[in-house]
Amino acid sequence: MNNQSVAFIGLGVMGYPMAGHLAKAGYKVTVYNRTQSKAENWVKEYPGQMAATPAQAAAEADIVFTCVGNDEDLRSVALGDEAILSSLSKHSIIVDHSTTSATVARELHQACQAQNNHFIDAPVSGGQQGAEKGALTIMCGADESSYEAVLPLLKCYAKAVTLMGPQGAGQLTKMCNQIAVAGVIQGLAESMSFAEQAGLDVAKVVEVMSAGAASSWQMVNRYQTMIKDDYNHGFAVDWMRKDLGICLAEAKQNQALLPVTELVDQFYADIQAMGGGRWDTSSLFKRLQAQKNKSNKNR
């Protein structure tokens, strides 16, 4: 039994299994979720307790984990009324697993410092499957001693954890990840669409390619569902647009050039307009197919 007390705020697709891994490892876990029924389900499934507010969950915790939506969601659970910082004891650590801007990470770092707490931005990659299997990749922005203190807990649900630099560096690294992923998925979608137009067996084409230099996680894990036109799973387009918005805003500040990312962001806006905000990001293929059908009809 680990005698550290932890709180977990946000039991969504990602947070629910991550909090579960901590409970299974023997940590004393108190969970909070805005929609209470998810917390009720969680305490039925795992040893631990639930709290009525983030402040109540955090009151006894040495480490508080958050995994919510965007910058505003994080501010509201950390800084708002009945929020984490209102009850956190001195020297406790907040670890945020949401994907947010680096700006909000630095803002929370300062708010924590002002009351002798510590903040770590720790966005994740690996999706729902990675969270459930405890095989996430975590990129951290932190001071070294806080990082060392939380590392054994992060290893309960991660296969790789890396300290990237001070607070904000974790989110900047996650932006690099999303920029790379956006281009990779569009490339895969175009390749599959081209194979279709060329009259090739699309599955066979992808299987050949995945043994060579064009292979990627997206190619290996998504081509079958793309062929089946199945997008009701995975990483939602709405979340990807949030992430790409963060990347494009940061690029305005650091003057990085992101021409493909800008374009793919607009392609995802098209998918939202098709009603696909909750579809997996591999639906870029469906967008191309829909455009092809439209141009065939107009001929």
What positions carry a catalytic annotation?
A: 174
Which of 106, 219, 110 is closest to 172 using CA atoms? 106
Rank residues 106 and 289 by Cβ distance to ligand NAP and give the closer one. Answer: 106
CB < 8 Å & 24+ apart, contacts of 289-292: 289/193, 289/196, 292/193, 292/197
Q: What is the binding site for ligand NAP (CB under 6 A)?
A: 10-15, 33-35, 38, 67-69, 73, 76-77, 98-99, 124-125, 127-128, 235, 239
CA–CA distance, 150 with 117 (Å, rounded to integer): 14
Shortest spacing between CB 247 and ligand NAP, in angstroms: 12
Shortest spacing between CB 243 and ligand NAP, in angstroms: 6
Strand 136-141 relative to strand 124-125, pairing: antiparallel
Rank residues 124 and 153 by Cβ distance to ligand NAP and give the closer one. Answer: 124
Rank residues 53 and 191 by Cβ distance to ligand NAP and give the closer one. Answer: 53
Shortest spacing between CB 35 and ligand NAP, in angstroms: 3
Shortest spacing between CB 251 and ligand NAP, in angstroms: 18
**At 133, which amino acid appears?**
K
Q: Which residues are registered as beta bridge partners of 8?
A: 31, 65
Rank residues 87 and 193 by Cβ distance to ligand NAP and give the closer one. Answer: 87
CA distances from 153 to 40, 84, 138, 158, 209 (A): 23, 19, 12, 9, 38
Angle between helices 169-197 and 237-254 (to 10 degrees): 120
Kind and range of the H or E run holding 25? none
Q: Which residue is nearest to ligand NAP (CB)?
A: 12
Shortest spacing between CB 114 and ligand NAP, in angstroms: 22
Please give the full DSSP string across 199-218, using - where no structure is assigned. T--HHHHHHHHTTSTT--HH
Rank residues 29 and 209 by Cβ distance to ligand NAP and give the closer one. Answer: 29
